């Protein structure tokens, strides 16, 4: 699984209908996932464990963990270049 | 009302098509488009600095002005969605910049950094039936800055509802894109325009019926149904130029979005009314 938590803005993991998207300031996890009591369920659970292990490791051992992440940079207001003349 | 529609139809015919992006026959992109015909841009300002990009399962028109797609088109068949669902459950992909877009007009990963916006797929990766097509769908040429609650709940639910139409046995032509409405807009880093609204238009040939989901790019979970003609008036793009007038003017009842869970479960009155009508 290619996923370097908080290290880039590109890594994306899909697990069934669950999406995990990496950013430098946050990781988004959304969608849904059923862990069935079978081999597929075990595989998915292990993948989640690996992923969360990486995330916890980075948060615990990465440098300078702040109390609270910096707020998002607000977008700039611009004139609509597509606006009707 | 009927008179107004006739007038609208007349005005539409009088419009000039500013671009007709041509996808080469051998690249296969025309198969993503209803009768091989690309959506027609009808607002002159939208047509500037546009680039058609052909992926294996998506046809895109990218704007170097907004640094987003203007539309992403897909042809969903039951077989395609079955193949997409039979891909391995665990997949790794990477959001990436689109090398086919000229450097200055290309959206970059850094444009979205710490923006508070998701990189929202227009053609969703859940529709892609091969590993190559999956990876291609993560191109920033297929992405808009999307409100996270919209992307992760409402829009996810709309994508899922459209896939269900194909899974139930009907092929579907889908065109998805942003709308940039109003005098002022927001812009990420002064480079990537934030759409005010998002649309997903569908045409189901077996029912000869079409309509579009139209939603504000915010966390309200509100959406409305538009006919293809009304979508054209609002957005300035004729998404299905090959449809006849009656189909364009009559909005089919769209399947209710099937989101996994809610950030804010407030739905518009119109949405609730539609939901109660069922599918």
Q: What is the largest CA-CA distance in chain A?
A: 62
Q: Which residue of B has its CA nearest to A19?
A: B152
How many Å lie between the alpha carbon of A45 and the closest alpha carbon of chain B?
11
pLDDT of residue B4: 44
Confidence of residue A39 (pLDDT cuts 50, 70, 90): very high
Q: Give B253-276 pLDDT, tens digit per residue.
A: 999 998 665 454 444 444 544 444
What is the side-by-side order of every strand in the sheet holding A17-22?
A27-32, A17-22, A11-15, B90-94
DSSP reduced 3-state for B105: helix
Q: Which residue of A has its CA nearest to B139?
A: A10
pLDDT beyond 60 at B210 = yes
Query: HSE-up of B161 (CA within 13 Å, CB side)?
Result: 22
Q: Give B150-195 pLDDT, tens digit per residue.
A: 999 999 999 999 999 999 999 999 999 999 999 999 999 999 999 9
CB contact under 8 A, A82 and B66: yes
Task: Give B46-103 as a 3 state SS string.
Answer: HHCCEEEEECCCCEEEEECCCCEEEEEEEEECHHHHHHHHCCCCEEEEECECCCCCCH
CB contact under 8 A, A30 and B156: yes
Provide the whole-model pTM: 0.89
pLDDT of residue B2: 43
The fraction of chain B above a pLDDT of 70, given in percent, is 83
Query: Which of these ranges, A15-19, B76-80, B237-241, has the smallest mean pLDDT?
Result: A15-19
> What is the average pLDDT across A48-62?
97
pLDDT of residue B23: 74
- Tokens for B78, please give them: 């039951």
How many Å lie between the alpha carbon of B26 and the closest alpha carbon of chain A?
31
Say if CB A12 and CB B95 are below 8 A apart: yes
DSSP reduced 3-state for A16: coil
Q: Which of B84, B90, B157 to mutate to test the interface with A (most CBs of A within 10 A)?
A: B90
Confidence of residue A85 (pLDDT cuts 50, 70, 90): very low
Question: What's the rounded Cα separation, in Å, for the pair B71 and B50?
Answer: 11
Q: Does an H or E element contain B167, and which?
A: helix B156-167
Torsion angle of the four alpha carbons B10, B13, B14, B16, in this order, in degrees rounded to the nearest 10: 160
Confidence of residue A83 (pLDDT cuts 50, 70, 90): confident
The fraction of chain A above a pLDDT of 90, given in percent, is 91
pLDDT beyond 70 at B233 = yes
Residues in B closer than 8 angstroms to A8, CB to CB, are 109
Of B66, B89, B110, the CB nearest to A44: B89
Of B66, B188, B260, the CB nearest to A32: B260
pLDDT beyond 90 at A48 = yes
pLDDT beyond 90 at B25 = no
Query: HSE-up of B275 (CA within 13 Å, CB side)?
Result: 15
The mean predicted confidence, pLDDT, of chain B is 89
**ipTM score of complex:** 0.95
Question: What's the rounded Cα separation, in Å, for the pair B69 and B204?
Answer: 23
Contacts A–B by Cβ distance under 8 A: 121
Question: What's the rounded Cα separation, in Å, for the pair B175 and B32?
Answer: 9
pLDDT of residue B51: 95
pLDDT of residue B267: 47
Query: Which of these ranges, A12-26, B5-19, B57-71, has the smallest mean pLDDT?
Result: B5-19
CB contact under 8 A, B260 and A15: no
Question: Per-residue b/e over B137-152, b at no fewer than 16 CB within 10 Å?
Answer: bbbbbbbbbbbbbbbb
Residues in B closer than 8 angstroms to A16, CB to CB, are 89
Question: What's the rounded Cα separation, in Å, for the pair A26 and A20?
Answer: 11
Question: Per-residue b/e over B203-220, b at no fewer than 16 CB within 10 Å?
Answer: bbeeeebbbbbbbbbebb
> What is the average pLDDT across B2-16?
47
Residues in A closer than 8 angstroms to B152, CB to CB, are 19, 28, 30-31
pLDDT of residue B270: 47
How many Å lie between the alpha carbon of A20 and the closest alpha carbon of chain B?
10
- Tokens for B206, please give them: 């077996």
- Tokens for B230, please give them: 């009304």
CB contact under 8 A, B184 and A2: no
pLDDT of residue B28: 74
> What is the average pLDDT across A25-35?
94
Collect all residues from A whose CB is shorter than 8 A from any CB in B: 1-3, 8-17, 19, 21, 23-25, 28, 30-32, 40, 43-44, 47, 70, 72-85
pLDDT of residue B54: 96
- Which of B203, B17, B202, B206 lies closest to B214, judged by CA? B202
């Amino acid at each position: 699984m290619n996923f370097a938590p908080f290290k880039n803005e590109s890594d994306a993991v899909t697990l069934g209908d669950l999406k995990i998207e990496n950013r430098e300031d946050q990781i988004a996890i959304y969608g849904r996932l059923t862990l069935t009591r079978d081999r597929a369920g075990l595989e998915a659970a292990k993948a989640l464990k690996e992923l969360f292990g990486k995330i916890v490791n980075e948060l615990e051992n990465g440098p300078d963990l702040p109390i609270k992440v910096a707020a998002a940079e607000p977008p700039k207001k611009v004139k609509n270049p597509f606006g009707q003349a | 009302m009927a008179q107004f529609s006739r007038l609208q139809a007349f005005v539409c015919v009088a419009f000039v098509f500013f671009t007709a992006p041509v996808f080469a026959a051998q690249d296969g992109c025309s198969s993503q488009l209803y009768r091989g015909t690309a959506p027609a841009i009808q607002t002159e300002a939208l047509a500037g600095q546009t680039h058609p990009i052909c992926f294996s399962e998506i046809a895109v028109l990218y704007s170097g002005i907004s640094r987003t797609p203007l539309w992403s088109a897909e042809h969903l068949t039951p077989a395609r969605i079955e193949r997409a669902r039979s891909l391995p459950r665990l997949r790794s992909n990477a959001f990436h910049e689109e090398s086919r877009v000229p450097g200055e007009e290309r959206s970059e990963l850094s444009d979205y950094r710490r923006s508070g916006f998701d990189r929202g797929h227009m053609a969703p990766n859940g529709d892609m039936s091969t590993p190559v097509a999956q990876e291609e769908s993560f191109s920033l040429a297929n992405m808009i800055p999307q409100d996270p609650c919209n992307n992760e709940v409402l829009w996810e639910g709309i994508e899922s509802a459209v896939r269900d139409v194909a899974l139930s046995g009907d092929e579907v032509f889908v065109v998805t894109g942003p709308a940039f409405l109003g005098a002022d807009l927001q812009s990420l880093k002064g480079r990537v325009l934030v759409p005010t609204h998002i649309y997903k238009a569908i045409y189901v040939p077996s029912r000869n019926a079409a309509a579009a989901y139209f939603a504000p790019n915010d966390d309200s979970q509100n959406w409305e149904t538009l006919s293809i003609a009304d979508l054209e008036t609002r957005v300035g793009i004729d998404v299905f130029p090959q449809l006849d007038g009656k189909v364009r003017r009559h909005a089919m009842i769209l399947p209710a979005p099937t989101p996994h869970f809610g950030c804010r479960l407030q739905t518009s009155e119109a949405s609730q009314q539609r939901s109660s009508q069922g599918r």
